[in-house]
Amino acid sequence: MGRVSGFLEEVRASYDTVAEAYAERVPAPGALDPLSRGVLGAFVEEMAGAGGTVLDVGCGPGKVAGYLAAGGVRVVGLDLSARMVGIARRAQPEVPFVVGSMTALGVRAGALAGVLAYYSTHHTPPEHLPAVYAEFRRVLAPGGRLMLAGYVGADGDGGGGEGERLRHTEAYGGLPVSYESHYVPPERIVRLLEAAGLTVTARLVQEVESAKGAKRRVGTFLAVRPPAGTSPRAG
């Protein structure tokens, strides 16, 4: 994969550390709340009907990729953490998994029917999101679909702010980590996706309560890469 630096190195090292604990604690798609299951299920149904390959970016231990595969989607999982990829390969031997970064996907332009970024971009500093979203667009075929889901921040001043930033030192049972989480306002995410050349077709923001009672806003965004010669428009 080459040398990883900066925030990517922090994320990679941290998830290598917590990989087994993460895999034990993070629920499978079937255990999600009904609304999240419904949106993810709709994406699976659409991608299974479309044919082509979907890349699950930041696939972790492979639970979501396995759910896609069970729904008839041709899926490849990609994660920065080699230990996560190892767990995914053992858990889902029928699905191909590779080590890689969402900043450089290693996929030829226009090769994918879909990209899924499911709770995998919130460790990316906001200043790096334009490059990440542009990479998602690059690998999508015209008409290809992106589903982006994860934690988001408050709307703030019309969504123009960078949102909330948290520095973590431990996670998943007290294991040591060193990364930041960035909770970008939904309107800011929409503008960045559209600036990258994607048309946002749907967005959903919901309040989700964890098993410990903590509440966090979750945003889900569906977008499409328009055919050449068309202009993205607001969703």
pLDDT surpasses 60 at 93: yes
| Of 138-142, 160-164, 171-175, minimum mean pLDDT range | 160-164
pLDDT bin (cut points 50, 70, 90) of residue 232 is very low
Asked whether 85 and 97 are in contact (CB, 8 A), the reply is yes
Q: Are 71 and 45 in contact (CB under 8 A)?
A: yes
Residue 124 has pLDDT above 70, yes or no: yes
Task: Kindly report the pTM of this predicted structure.
Answer: 0.91
Domain 6-224 has CATH 3.40.50.150: yes
> Region 196-225: what's the mean pLDDT?
88
Is the per-residue pLDDT at 57 higher than 70? yes
Percentage of the chain modeled with pLDDT above 70: 90
- Average pLDDT over every residue of 4-16: 89
Average pLDDT over residues 43-48: 97
Backbone angles phi, psi at 112, to 5 degrees: -110, 145
Average pLDDT (73-97) is: 98
Mean pLDDT of all residues in the chain?
A: 91
All structural domains of the chain with their residue ranges: 6-224
